[in-house]
Structure 1
Amino acid sequence: MQANSNILVSVLFFHLTIFSLCPVETLEPVTSGIAVVTALAASGLFAGYELLKCRMYECCDDRWLIANLTGMKTALESRLHGQHLVVDTTVRAITGHIKNKNPQKALVLAFHGWTGGGKNFVSKIIAEHLYHKGMESQYVHLFIATLHFPHASKVETYKDQLRTWIKGNTTKCPRTLFIFDEMDKMPEGLIDAIKPFLDVYPEINGVNYRKTTFIFLSNTGGNAITEHTIAHWEKGKRREEIKHKDMENVIILSAYNEHGGLWHSNIIEMNLISSFVPFLPLERKHVKMCIRDDLRAKNISDEKITEEILSKVADELQYHPPSKQLFSKSGCKRVSQKVDLILEDFDND
């Protein structure tokens, strides 16, 4: 069906092109009338084809770009544990950018923190609530440094490929989301290739990049964030009292000075990152929340989810610092695997 529709549209456009190339005075009245009718019919058929196609296949319109901002906020508040700074900063940044019909520049979020803190999880939630197809959307692009940019010696080639990819996909849909994972493992200097797309230019070579969103995920700054959180705890302060402004400068210094994708980058120097978002290290109580979520996802009823099971899984993880055992070194990243092992033990008992 789709192939036949494409052929029909191509034929109609061919005739439209032929008629458009013919001077009006060279056509007889009847021929001119036929040309006009054919053009109108073709445009009507094309509009109908586009309407039908976009009902069945993903297009860059409101049916597929859902922008469920309320749902995103609710999902982050209920499914993300121990990250009050992430919820507040991310929701405000994305909501402001999406609601602005003419943003000044692309939205650029830098997620920093230890592994397992929820950086990929939050990116997934964002995609799920901005695009009908979530991470499977053709307008969501995930780059993994060790997979897509493994060789430091090929930085110049990667730069050309990256610029071409971003330009082509932004041309197709201005509301495109680009996610860069493992920024700490990205070849140094590569990310500066996209600097023009993040700046305040109205357009570059006819393409407007100001409605795009870029998310950088990095472990860089994780140690500094953790040490700051420990110092806060030692003062007897509640975790929820940590403010975004307390952490932002810590992240900027770490991202700029630690070797990795943002090391001495022009993107940081030119203040093109909209917000540095700190992912705090997760405490044991947050890990237990993740364990409960995983058990529920595996169809374990709440009455069977005992404190014994939660503690047994949590005890399988390593905590920092050794003397205080405050924070999970791997966050919630290994929780699902540990749950499987514990469930197997319980089944065998």
Structure 2
Amino acid sequence: MRLTCLAPVLCVGWNLIMVAALEPISTGLAVGIAAAVTGFLARYQNVLYYFQECCRPEWISYNKTGLQEDLQKKLFGQHVASQVVFKAVTGFMNNENPKKPLVLSLHGWTGTGKNFVSQLIAKNIYHKGMESGFVHLFTATAHFPHTRDLETYKTQLQQWIKGNVTNCPRSMFIFDEMDKMQPGLIDSIKPYLDFYERLDGVSYRQAIFIFLSNAGGQNIVQVALDFWTAGRQREEIQLKDLETAVSLSVFNNQESGFWHTSLIDKNLVDFFVPFLPLEFKHVVQCGMAEMAAKGLELNATVVDRMARDLNYFPKDERVFSVKGCKVISSRLDFYTD
């Protein structure tokens, strides 16, 4: 649990009063100092909120333009995901009285941008981004590794979410590796994602839940291949071409954390967001962006050579990258050494 924002105010005021009391000055002067401090805090206490993260607009506010630009300029080859994420987040954040939390499920092969998008969402809502105390990341293999402890995990997860939403209604919860999550675990938080106004006095309607999974990736790849084989443009692919197939795939996959989950059959997931397999040109874009992020001099020749040495499929046509942009950072270190 995080301390409330009143803590710095009370501590500053009390410390100043104690200093005044310890100094060899008159009682009248000490009282005067205390009164002045109290008046200052009453009038300018909002200034102190800038020194400790709080569940307030100074620390939590939606940057619509920032998210739109980040998705357009930093996320490559994902026109469907970009559009869906931007509209979903914007609509939710602009709604002063949402009927339920925002629930997004991001699907696709590794290296296509799922984790990156969750970071962009956090960056444009929370002043401290992923470092915010109100953004909570869970990974299946790290936080829920043992099948024998399933019931314990369920209880802990419920307590953790309830405690953090009580502390800050505008909390974000990211669940990575949903394809490795134990079936049944995620159903334990189903009540918090539903259309309840309050549960035990707590409203979850302003919270955001994001699930990341490789499950359904094969279905997405097949659609992309079908479009390519038919000679159709990648940009012609729409959400309607993918969403139903993805949701059915993860619901019926016994190895998925979404297997027969009530989150799906009760329609509590607002959007299943598909991430398409990346092509060579997108890998090059990732490489150039990574060089810029590392502060390196941009070198298209080096990036092109690095991108061509990666694996693609189908084997003969080499259309889609096997690992997307997952290994770009480490590969660039090798090619620029």
Alignment TM class, shorter chain as reference: 0.7 to 0.9
In 1, Cα distance between equivalents of 2:103 and 2:110? 20
Asked if residue 113 in structure 1 is aligned to residue 108 in structure 2, the reply is: yes
Match of 1:217 in 2: 212
Match of 2:158 in 1: 163
Deviation string 1:19-44 (CA, Å, 9 cap, x unpaired) is: xxxxxxxxxxxxxxxxxxxxx99997
In 2, Cα distance between equivalents of 1:312 and 1:286? 14
Match of 1:97 in 2: 92
Match of 2:281 in 1: 285
Match of 1:186 in 2: 181
Q: 1:4 and 1:212, CA in 2 relative to 1: closer, same or farther beyond 3 A? A: closer
Unaligned regions of 5+ residues in structure 1, if any? 10-39, 345-349
Bigger fraction of residues in helix: 1
Asked if residue 261 in structure 1 is aligned to residue 254 in structure 2, the reply is: no
Task: Specify which of 315, 319, 322 is matched with residue 322 of structure 1.
Answer: 315
Q: 1:231 and 1:155, CA in 2 relative to 1: closer, same or farther beyond 3 A? A: same
- 1:311 is displaced (CA, Å) by 2.2
Counterpart amino acid of residue 135 in structure 1: M
Percentage identity across aligned positions?
47
* Aligned residue runs from structure 1 range 1-349, under 5 A: 5-6=10-11, 51-258=46-253, 259-302=255-298, 305-306=299-300, 308-344=301-337
Q: TM-score under structure 1 normalisation?
A: 0.85
Over aligned residues, Cα RMSD in angstroms?
2.3
- 1:66 is displaced (CA, Å) by 2.2
- 1:4 is displaced (CA, Å) by 9.4
- 1:309 is displaced (CA, Å) by 1.5
SS of corresponding position for 2:99: coil
Q: 1:265 and 1:46, CA in 2 relative to 1: closer, same or farther beyond 3 A? A: farther
In 2, Cα distance between equivalents of 1:275 and 1:47? 45
In 2, Cα distance between equivalents of 1:174 and 1:270? 23
Match of 1:35 in 2: none
Unaligned regions of 5+ residues in structure 2, if any? 1-6, 15-34
Number of aligned residue pairs? 312
- 1:55 is displaced (CA, Å) by 2.1
Counterpart amino acid of residue 195 in structure 2: V
- 1:292 is displaced (CA, Å) by 0.8
- 1:46 is displaced (CA, Å) by 7.5
SS of corresponding position for 1:130: coil
- 1:139 is displaced (CA, Å) by 0.6
SS of corresponding position for 1:90: helix
Give the stretch that moved more between structures: 286-295 or 52-61.
52-61
Deviation string 1:152-188 (CA, Å, 9 cap, x unpaired) is: 1111100100000000100111111100000000111
In 2, Cα distance between equivalents of 1:42 and 1:217? 49
SS of corresponding position for 2:136: strand
- Report the structure number with the largest CA radius of gyration: 1
In 1, Cα distance between equivalents of 2:305 and 2:289? 15
8 A Cα contact 1:73 1:91, kept in partner: yes
Deviation string 1:116-157 (CA, Å, 9 cap, x unpaired) is: 000010111110110000001011000011000011111110
- 1:257 is displaced (CA, Å) by 1.2
